[in-house]
Amino acid sequence: MASIWSDRISVSVFGEAQGPAIGVTVDDLPPGEFIDVKQLHRFMERRMPGVHEGGELCQIMSGIMNDRTTGSPLCAFIQNTDVVVPDVKEQLGRLPRPGHADYTGTLRYRGFNDIRDGGHLSDRLTAPLCFAGAVCGQILERRGIYVGAHALEIHGIRDKEFDHADVTREDIVAVRGKSFPVISNKAGRDMLEDIRAAAEGGETLGGIVECVAINVPAGIGSPIFDGLENTIASLLFGIPGVRGLEFGAGFESAKMVGSQSNDSFYVDDHGHVRTASNNHGGILGGISSGMPIVLRVAVKPTASIGQAQETVNLSTMETEKLDAESCAVSCLVPRTVPCVEACVNIALLDHMLDHPHFTG
């Protein structure tokens, strides 16, 4: 099991959901970059509003000194406070939970994987991923590049979209400062009410996260296998619960004719080449066009539901009834918002390191 994403920079995530700690190591960050630790913790708190992970803040072990990156591996960990002692009987008599990776993980690792709350396959591992993305985000923002996301849709209730052709830094910051990440406060209230109603019925909800990145210079990325979409996708699918991804007009493009899909070029008042619309989502041929990068991520309903379900006892190979699970989060979409931002931050910084005008 190697949870390492590696390109120009590398990100390695370690730990289990109910083990002693979880953490991350980031290699090949440019040295001398100022990192605001308080801002890092604010980013982390957006993943779990009002609660720092496990009651602890991220402990930075290496890679930052006097608030600047040193060039050595940046390592941080989060101590878990809800450590559970492994139950041997539970380990032997496995009852895989529907919707979780218990069954597939057991097959892949021959029954030796940590199954406590999903172990290394838990969405708790998105916490250190958020930390890595928050660091990358600060480096990008000092170069004017901003990444922002919001809950576009939950269970059919839809928020307003960002203006795909003209989203601003202020638009991104406004959503980032809200306790519930939406553009329309009314849509947010409706979503929260629907989440509460689902929880009361023992159900969970899924939805869509929309993410934009602005001021990414044209010419970032490469064609074929090293394209911006490829890099972003490889990170986003590291978030448990992500089931789909589209850029720009996405699947709606299949309903268009060419004259509708193509984005006409023009020169703006500043002498920059832009497009009148942004169906291409800011990326053409795997390379940034200079327009806002726009993507949407489908997030499945939380797998832990408050209803009894059928499963198979892997020791006896007989069908059994699995009791209703305790579900602390009835909808993963709001907490997925900063996770999506984090992944896009990592991908963009990774490609920006090749930009001729990038300076460390």
360 vs 278, residue with greater confidence: 278
> What domains appear along the chain, each with residue ranges and CATH number?
4-352 (3.60.150.10)
The interaxial angle of helices 333-352 and 126-141, nearest 10 deg, is: 50
Q: Is the pLDDT of residue 54 over 60?
A: no
Contact of 97 with 65, CB cutoff 8 Å: no
The interaxial angle of helices 37-47 and 333-352, nearest 10 deg, is: 140
Report the alpha-carbon distance of residue 198 to residue 205 in Å, rounded: 7
Mean pLDDT of the region 119-136: 88
Q: Is the pLDDT of residue 197 over 50?
A: yes
Q: Is the pLDDT of residue 71 over 70?
A: yes
pTM flag (> 0.75): yes
Q: Is the torsion defined by CA of 227, 23, 57, 236 positive or negative?
A: positive
Residue 210, pLDDT score: 98
Q: Is the pLDDT of residue 69 over 50?
A: yes
Residue 58, pLDDT score: 82
Residue 55, pLDDT score: 42
Q: Is the pLDDT of residue 91 over 70?
A: no
Highest mean pLDDT among 52-61, 98-107, 294-303, 349-358: 294-303
Report the alpha-carbon distance of residue 184 to residue 52 in Å, rounded: 26
Residue 87, pLDDT score: 59
Contact of 157 with 195, CB cutoff 8 Å: no
Q: Is the pLDDT of residue 94 over 90?
A: no
Residue 88, pLDDT score: 43
Q: Read off the pLDDT of residues 236-285 as tens digits, 9 standing for 90 and up.
A: 999 999 999 999 999 999 999 999 999 999 999 999 999 999 999 999 99
Q: Work out the pLDDT band at 83, boundaries 50, 70, 90.
A: low
Q: Which of 12, 67, 73, 61 is nearest to 37 (CA)?
A: 67
Strand partners, 287: 221, 284
Residue 102, pLDDT score: 85
2 vs 349, residue with greater confidence: 349
Mean pLDDT of the region 218-234: 96
Residue 355, pLDDT score: 87
Q: Which of 228, 153, 203 is nearest to 325 (CA)?
A: 203
Residue 85, pLDDT score: 63
Q: Work out the pLDDT band at 72, boundaries 50, 70, 90.
A: very high
Q: Read off the pLDDT of residues 317-344 as tens digits, 9 standing for 90 and up.
A: 999 998 888 777 899 999 999 999 999 9
Residue 314, pLDDT score: 87
Range with the lowest mean pLDDT among 49-53, 85-89, 138-142, 235-239? 49-53
Mean pLDDT of the region 170-186: 96
3-class SS at 151? strand
Q: Work out the pLDDT band at 51, boundaries 50, 70, 90.
A: very low
Contact of 320 with 313, CB cutoff 8 Å: yes
